Amino acid sequence: MPIYRFGDMVIDPQKYPWGYKPWKLLGLFPLLWLDASDSESLILDSEGNVEEWRDKSGGNRHATENTTSRRPTYISDYNGIVGIEFDGVDDRFILPDETRPGITDDALFYGLVFTPYDTSVTNWARNIIGCGRLASPGCTVFITTENRLRLEVAESGDRQSVRTVTDSLSNHTTHFAHVGRKINYEAFAYVNGVSSTSTITTEAQWGSYEQRIGDPEQVGSSSSGDFYDGLLHEVFILDYYPDENTLSKIEGYLAHKWGLTANLPSNHPYKDVAP
């Protein structure tokens, strides 16, 4: 019987089953929180693949995959960190609807740590996490044909969206990133603590690809793009956009937790000390 440790507290899972909230994410209240570093949150099948990646938000919004061949693989040591490996062919997870942030006129935010193996795109994108088809409100975070991380938000059946992209991503390199949109439609993307240098503000570019943005409630796959090929280490979703101090804490937390402080800018407030 596993015992969950939280600070100095020892939590008996019989007394506090999964869904009780002993975990804290910087005082944030995520819609979803997947954390590969927590072995208790990973349910492996007999092949060593991940049948369920349990949500630590407290909402029991677990990522699951019923088809054995589509289950991502647990990697215990990738350059010293654990990760969930997506094969780029058909691996994915399905998430419950409750993990969808509000879309129309709402703020939303994704934090993630990921290691892309292959950023080349055969179709139009490699979806990391996304929800909804263009025909209905939806949003997705994906790697573009230019190897950039991008957030796309579609509202009410049309791309009344804000979107932003980052500098090119390196293969086989672990990145921490956050992308999101404020309630006033401003969108932001940061990779390794550095803001996007190229934000797309025109909307016309999307017209001919309208039918391809579709992505059901999945992590790592899309019905029309390419499957994600690489590792995910941590993912969380907020239904609000944090303030500047909180953004810095998020970056510091992710960088220190995953051994990525070298990626932080030298003047970052949490360059040397974790929040």
**Structure tokens that stand for 234 in this block:** 């941590």
- Judged by CB under 5 A, the number of residues near Ca ion is 4
- Identity of the residue, 225 or 252, whose beta carbon is nearer to Ca ion in the bound complex: 225
CB of 87 vs Ca ion, minimal distance in Å: 4
Do the bridges between strand 138-143 and strand 73-78 make them parallel or antiparallel, or are there none, so unpaired? unpaired
Residue 87 binds to Ca ion (criterion: CB under 5 A): yes
215 binds Ca ion (CB under 5 A): no
C-alpha to C-alpha distance for 138 and 58, rounded to whole angstroms: 23
Q: How many angstroms separate the CA atoms of 217 and 211, rounded?
A: 16
**In this complex, which beta carbon is closest to Ca ion, that of residue 67 or of residue 198?**
67
Find the part of the chain contacting Ca ion (CB under 5 A) among 87-95, 142-150, 219-227, 232-240: 87-95
**Alpha-carbon Rg for the chain in angstroms:** 18
First-last CA distance in the chain: 32
Tell me the closest approach of the beta carbon of residue 109 to Ca ion, in angstroms.
Answer: 30
Residue 45 beta carbon to Ca ion: minimum distance, rounded to whole angstroms: 12
**Nearer to Ca ion by C-beta: 91 or 155?**
91
Q: Is 85 in the site for Ca ion (CB under 5 A)?
A: no
**Which of 74, 236 has the CB closer to Ca ion?**
74
* Minimum distance from residue 73 beta carbon to Ca ion (Å): 8
Phi, psi of 41 (to 5 degrees): -90, 0
x-or-dash pattern for Ca ion, window 51-70, by CB under 5 A? ------------------x-
Q: Which CB sits closer to Ca ion, 69 or 211?
A: 69
Measured CA to CA, the distance from residue 62 to residue 42 in angstroms comes to 10
Residue from the set 51, 85, 91, 215 that interacts with Ca ion by CB under 5 A? 91
Contact in structure between 196 and 164 (CB atoms under 8 Å):
yes
Stretch that binds Ca ion, among 32-40, 88-96, 177-185, 221-229 (CB under 5 A): 88-96
Cα–Cα separations (whole angstroms), residue 82 to 111, 140, 167, 217, 271: 17, 24, 25, 24, 22
When the beta carbons of 64 and 248 are compared against Ca ion, the nearer one is: 64
Enumerate the β-bridge partners of residue 155.
158
Question: How many whole angstroms from its chain centre is CA 107?
Answer: 16
Q: Which residues pair with 18 in a beta bridge?
A: 20
Binding site for Ca ion (CB under 5 A): 69, 87, 90-91
